[in-house]
Amino acid sequence: MLVKSFSIYTVMGIKIFTGELSKATNTFNFSQLTSGIYIVRIGEGNNTYTTKIFKQ
């Protein structure tokens, strides 16, 4: 059984957070991050989804 995981990176490529997705609905509180652009990568095995998040 593959586990879905996620990672959050700065635009400079520095990994600042990682975790596992275990529920049908998951949330992450971005209030602890400073304003800027972040890259979120969600993966399960060889399948990955990457998107940008803009925090004001």
Contact 18, 38 (CB under 8 A): no
Question: What's the whole-model pTM score?
Answer: 0.81
Q: SS3 for 32?
A: helix
Decide which of 26 and 18 is more confident: 18
Question: Distance between CA atoms of 33 and 41, rounded to whole angstroms?
Answer: 16
pLDDT tier at 23, thresholds 50, 70, 90: confident
pLDDT tier at 1, thresholds 50, 70, 90: low
Q: Which tens digits make up the pLDDT trace of 26-41?
A: 778 888 889 999 999 9
Beta-bridge partners for 39: 9, 52
In terms of residues, how long is the chain? 56
Tokens of 3: 């586990």
Contact 54, 37 (CB under 8 A): yes
pLDDT at residue 2, rounded to an integer: 67
